[in-house]
C-alpha cells in the first residue's frame, strides 16, 4: 500500500460543487504535434468539465487509488512547518502538486520525505520541485506535458490584446457607470502591424505564434533551438540568436521559457532597459523569471506600457505583493492552465502516470522530467540543473 499526498487549491468560496455555466467540454484526443492526449485505463473518476482541481474534486483519483488499496490524502494546507503537507510528507510515497498552488519541494523537504519515489505535477512546469535534489535522491519527477499548453496560449493572446487595447481599465469605466471614451482610448492601440517577440518557442510559445498569425503582426522568436525552415516560412517568423536582439525590436514581448537556476530573475533592470520604450510584457511562464521590483519600476517609469499574465512568486502571492497594485497591469491569479477544459486533461494524465507507476510500466518519455538520477524525457530538453 502506498500513501499519496495530493496538494490542490482550495474550493470556491461560493461553495462546492459550483453551478456549471456549460454542460460539456470539447474532447481533444490529439495535440498539435501529434502527441496523444492522456490514455488512462478504465473509468475516469470524474466527468470532463467538472471542477476537479480543487480539494473536494481530488482530481477524481480517490476511487481508483482506494480500489488498489492505497491511501489518498488531499489538502490545500501546504506552507509552514506545521502544515498538513509537512505532517504527511515523511511517509508519503507519491506527492501530487499543481503549479497553480505549488507545494514547494525544497531540498529540506526532500530530505524529510524518506519514502518519496514520485513527484507528480498535475499540469506543466515542475520548477516547484528542486530537480537537482530530486535527481540526487532518485525521485522520479513527471508532469502532464501538453495537457494545458493551448489553454495557456489562449490566455497569453488574450492578455496581449487586453493590454494593448486598454481593455481592463475601459471595462472598469463601464462598470463604474462612466462613458469616458477619451480616458479609455488615450492608452489604446491596435496590435495589427506591431512586432511580437516570444522568448521561448516550445509548445506554448509556438501555439501563441500560430494564434497571432491572423492578426497581421510581425512575429519574432528566440529559442536555444531554432525551429524548422518550413515552420519559419509558414508563419513568417524572424529568428533572433539572442534575447537582447529580440527585445530591442519587439512591441510585445512574451516569456515562455521554463524556470531553472540560470533563467531565474533574468528579466531585471538591465535587461528591461534594452526593451523598446512602451513595450508590453506578457508572462504566463513563471513569475520568478522576472525581478519583481524591476517590473514595478519599469511600469512606473513608462519603460513598459503594460505587464500581464498569471504567474507570481511565491504562490499564492501575499496580499501586499506589489504586482497586485502596480500601474497598467493585467494580472490574474495563476489560472491560465487550470480551465475546466484543461483540468480534464491533466487529471486524466495524472491517472495515467499513477497507473503506469503502480503497474511497473514505463511512464511516457514526454511526461518525464527527472528519472533514474538525471533529467530525462521532456526534462532533458527543457530544463537545466544549474
**Which residue, 22 or 225, is less far from ligand NDP as judged by CB?**
225
Q: Is 297 a catalytic residue?
A: no
Cell triple for 139: 525521485
Q: Is 286 a catalytic residue?
A: yes
Cell triple for 347: 487529471
Interaction residues for ligand NDP, span 227-286 (CB under 6 A): 256-259, 263, 284-286
Residue 198 CB, nearest distance to ligand NDP (Å)?
9
Residue 31 CB, nearest distance to ligand NDP (Å)?
10
- Number of neighbours of residue 62 by Cβ within 10 angstroms: 15
Residue 67 CB, nearest distance to ligand NDP (Å)?
30
Alpha-carbon distances, residue 37 vs 68, 83, 87, 154, 216 (angstroms): 24, 34, 34, 18, 31
Residue 61: name the closest of 85, 38, 39, 45 by CA.
45
Helix, strand, coil shares of the chain as percentages rounded to 5? 40, 15, 45
Residue 255 CB, nearest distance to ligand NDP (Å)?
8
Give the whole-angstrom CA distance, residue 258 versus residue 282.
14
**Which residue, 307 or 358, is less far from ligand NDP as judged by CB?**
307
Q: Identify the residue among 5, 52, 204, 219 touching ligand NDP (CB under 6 A).
A: 204
Q: Is 180 a catalytic residue?
A: no
Residue 140 near ligand NDP by CB under 6 A: no
Positive or negative CA dihedral for 270, 155, 238, 383? Answer: positive
Q: Identify the residue among 102, 306, 337, 349 touching ligand NDP (CB under 6 A).
A: 337
Interaction residues for ligand NDP, span 144-183 (CB under 6 A): 148-149, 152
Residue 339 near ligand NDP by CB under 6 A: no
Alpha-carbon distances, residue 98 vs 85, 104, 226, 385 (angstroms): 13, 10, 30, 21
Residue 382 near ligand NDP by CB under 6 A: yes
Positions that interact with ligand NDP (CB under 6 A): 99, 123-125, 148-149, 152, 199-205, 222-225, 256-259, 263, 284-286, 310-311, 334, 336-337, 381-382
Amino acid at each position: 500500500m502506498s500513501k499519496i499526498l495530493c496538494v490542490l487549491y482550495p474550493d470556491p468560496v461560493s461553495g462546492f460543487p459550483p453551478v456549471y455555466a456549460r454542460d460539456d467540454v470539447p474532447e481533444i484526443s490529439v495535440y498539435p504535434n501529434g502527441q496523444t492526449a492522456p490514455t488512462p485505463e478504465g473509468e475516469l473518476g470524474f466527468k470532463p468539465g467538472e471542477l476537479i482541481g480543487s480539494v473536494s474534486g481530488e482530481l477524481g483519483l480517490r476511487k481508483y487509488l482506494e480500489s488498489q488499496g492505497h491511501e489518498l490524502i488531499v489538502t490545500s494546507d501546504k506552507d509552514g512547518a506545521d502544515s498538513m503537507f509537512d505532517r504527511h510528507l515523511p511517509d508519503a510515497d507519491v506527492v501530487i502538486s499543481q503549479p497553480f498552488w505549488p507545494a514547494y519541494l525544497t531540498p529540506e523537504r526532500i530530505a524529510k520525505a524518506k519514502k518519496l519515489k514520485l513527484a507528480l505535477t498535475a499540469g506543466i512546469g515542475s520548477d516547484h520541485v528542486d530537480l537537482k535534489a530530486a535527481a540526487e535522491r532518485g525521485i522520479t519527477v513527471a508532469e502532464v506535458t501538453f495537457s494545458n499548453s493551448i489553454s495557456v496560449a489562449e490566455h497569453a493572446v488574450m492578455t496581449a490584446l487586453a493590454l494593448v487595447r486598454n481593455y481592463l481599465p475601459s471595462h472598469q469605466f463601464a462598470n463604474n457607470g462612466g462613458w469616458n471614451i477619451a480616458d479609455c482610448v488615450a492608452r489604446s492601440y491596435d496590435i495589427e502591424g506591431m512586432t511580437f517577440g516570444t522568448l521561448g518557442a516550445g509548445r506554448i510559445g509556438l501555439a501563441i505564434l500560430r494564434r497571432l498569425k491572423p492578426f497581421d503582426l510581425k512575429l519574432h522568436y528566440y529559442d536555444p533551438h531554432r525551429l524548422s525552415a518550413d515552420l519559419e516560412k509558414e508563419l513568417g517568423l524572424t529568428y533572433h540568436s539572442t534575447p537582447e536582439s529580440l527585445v530591442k525590436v519587439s512591441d510585445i514581448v512574451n516569456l515562455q521559457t521554463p524556470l531553472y537556476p540560470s533563467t531565474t530573475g533574468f528579466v531585471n533592470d538591465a535587461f528591461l532597459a534594452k526593451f523598446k520604450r512602451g513595450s508590453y510584457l506578457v508572462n504566463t511562464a513563471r513569475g520568478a523569471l522576472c525581478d519583481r521590483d524591476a517590473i514595478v519600476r519599469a511600469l512606473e517609469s513608462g519603460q513598459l506600457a503594460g505587464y500581464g499574465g498569471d504567474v507570481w512568486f511565491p504562490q499564492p502571492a501575499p496580499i501586499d505583493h506589489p504586482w497586485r497594485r502596480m500601474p497598467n497591469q493585467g494580472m490574474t491569479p495563476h489560472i491560465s492552465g487550470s480551465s475546466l477544459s484543461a483540468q480534464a486533461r491533466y487529471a486524466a494524465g495524472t491517472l495515467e502516470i499513477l497507473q503506469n507507476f503502480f503497474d511497473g510500466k514505463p511512464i511516457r518519455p514526454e511526461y518525464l522530467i527527472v528519472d533514474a538520477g538525471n533529467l530525462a524525457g521532456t526534462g532533458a530538453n527543457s530544463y537545466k540543473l544549474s
